[in-house]
A = this chain, B = another copy of it.
Amino acid sequence: MTLAVLFGAHSFEHEISVVSAIALKKILPKTEIVYIFCDYDRNFYLIPTETITSKRFSSGAYKNDTALVLKQGGFYAKKFLGERKVAFDVMVNLVHGMDGEDGTLSSMLTFFSVPFIGPRTEGCAISYNKLFTKLYAQEVGINVLDYQVLRKDSPMPIRIEYPFIVKPLRLGSSIGISVVKEEKELSYALDVAYEFDDTVLIEPFKKGVKEFNLAGCKADDFIFSIIEEPQKEEFLDFDKKYLDFSRTKRVNEATIDERLEQSIREAFKRLYDPLFIGALIRCDFFVIDDEVYLNEINPIPGSMANYLFDDFEGVLYALRYHLPQGIAMPKAYRYINSIQAAKGK
């Protein structure tokens, strides 16, 4: 299989995406990888797979690589006469955060008929916005922590008790997130979060809560990863998560009883189907008093959470055949024709 990896883009997590993309090379020995880079300014380039390094991007050397245009049917390189389509079987959207996880690139790939593994626009819109994630989770019967939404332009009293977490409403990877233990820490935490979003979400911070991550997708049936109990200090900050994104080794499985494992899988299924069909996502859960709570849905986990699977390559190969299909649509001018007929034109 030839897999195109789309990475980079106009995102605070651009660098994570670069690292995440390069890491895939080690993980997919049977796969031919075609690297398509989107730079901060949203121009596309074809990067040679053999010589890809993170320095190619940080130094700007990628600008000497082949520029690509995304058009109906795929990515095209300009040739002296005409153009050449970049050949691949399927693309994987590995752009983390903005552009990748907010629905922008999924919309473009759908519009231009590029088959891709990754969340669709609707799933992105729900998982990228932490308020919408909560509304959606509750609707499908999954618990969430209490929360309050604050807007930069209309301050209001906070009703969540200290300590709490302040998060920008959008973005992922812990960017702009703070734990606030007492009032004097609040204004700085809000300033930081408001740098990234005009709206922030506050939720109670519960020390020592068990956290469990489960990745998976639906092919013929659901394919689940192991359940990981992530190591954490107070919470994983951006620097630690960043290192985490280049992980290619398997982690230790959480030791939990079968009933809890089933509850976590059941919650994953409800969240996944049908909103995330075509994507390999990771759901991060809390367990409090034996009840499962959704923390967040990560619709494009770092290096696609390969380290949680026994046969990650096999998962991608299965998922490739279970991408959502568009609705068949008659391409006809029924109304206009009938009006013209009535007018005798």
Contacts and interface: CB of A to CB of B under 8 A. Distances in A.
B336 A42 contact: no
Interface in A12-43: 12, 14-16, 18-19, 40-43
Contacts of A107: 103-108, 121
Nearest to A39: B331
A255 interface: no
A324 to B, nearest CB: 10
A10 B58 contact: no
Contact of A58 (B110, B113, B336): B336
Contact of A57 (B14, B197, B336): B336
A71 interface: yes
A111 interface: yes
A80 interface: no
Nearest to A324: B198
A340 interface: yes
Nearest to A135: B135
A209 interface: no
Contacts of A110: 104
Interface string A86-108: 00000000000011001111111
A219 to B, nearest CB: 16
Interface stretch (A126-134, A294-302, A313-321): A126-134
B136 A40 contact: no
Given A72-B41, A111-B42, A58 B337 contact: yes
A196 interface: yes
Given A41-B331, A335-B242, A132 B126 contact: yes
A57 B333 contact: yes
A112 interface: yes
A54 interface: yes
Contacts of A19: 335-336
Contacts of A135: 132, 135-136, 139
A233 to B, nearest CB: 19
A79 interface: no
Contacts of A336: 15, 18-19, 54-55, 57-58
Given A12-B329, A333-B15, A340 B111 contact: no
A69 interface: yes
A196 B330 CA distance: 12
A161 interface: no
Nearest to A71: B69
Interface of A: 10-12, 14-16, 18-19, 40-43, 54-55, 57-58, 69, 71-72, 98-99, 102-108, 110-113, 121-122, 124-126, 128-129, 131-132, 135-136, 139, 151, 196-199, 239, 242, 274, 326-327, 329, 331, 333-337, 339-340, 345
25 contacts: A10-B326, A11-B329, A15-B336, A16-B335, A40-B329, A41-B72, A42-B72, A43-B72, A55-B336, A55-B345, A57-B333, A58-B333, A58-B337, A69-B71, A102-B121, A103-B125, A104-B121, A107-B121, A122-B125, A122-B132, A124-B125, A131-B139, A132-B132, A135-B136, A199-B274
